[in-house]
């Protein structure tokens, strides 16, 4: 399983709630978490099949910004 990390602008509980429906319903995502206390608002996604580019596109389509963390 891959653990992918992204810098995002998901910065509060309301933002987390806004993305949770899409991320929870995606069967290719095993689990996910956003660290809103981190200055980079790190989104961690565990998946066997999604590429980093696919996760970025998914987040962008919800209306947020994601960039793969190095």
Q: What is the predicted pLDDT for the residue at 12?
A: 94
Residue that has been written with the tokens 């200055």 in this structure? 39
Count of domains forming the chain: 1
Side by side, the strands of the sheet bearing 29-35 are 29-35, 42-47, 2-8, 66-68
Q: pTM score, two decimals? A: 0.94
Q: Which domain holds residue 38?
A: 2-68
What tens digit of pLDDT does each residue of 18-70 get? 999 999 999 999 999 999 999 999 999 999 999 999 999 999 999 999 999 97
- Residues whose CB is less than 8 angstroms from the CB of residue 59 and which lie 6 or more positions away in sequence, other chains included: 6, 8, 10, 19, 43, 65, 66
3, 62, 68 from 14: Cα distances, Å: 24, 13, 22
Domain with residue 19: its CATH number is: 3.30.70.100
């Amino acid at each position: 399983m891959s653990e992918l990390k992204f810098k995002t602008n998901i910065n509060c509980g309301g933002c987390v709630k806004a993305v949770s429906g899409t991320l929870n319903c995606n069967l290719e995502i095993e689990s996910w978490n956003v660290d809103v206390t981190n200055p980079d608002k790190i989104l961690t996604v565990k998946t066997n099949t999604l590429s980093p580019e696919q996760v970025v596109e998914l987040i962008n389509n919800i209306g947020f910004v994601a960039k793969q963390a190095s």
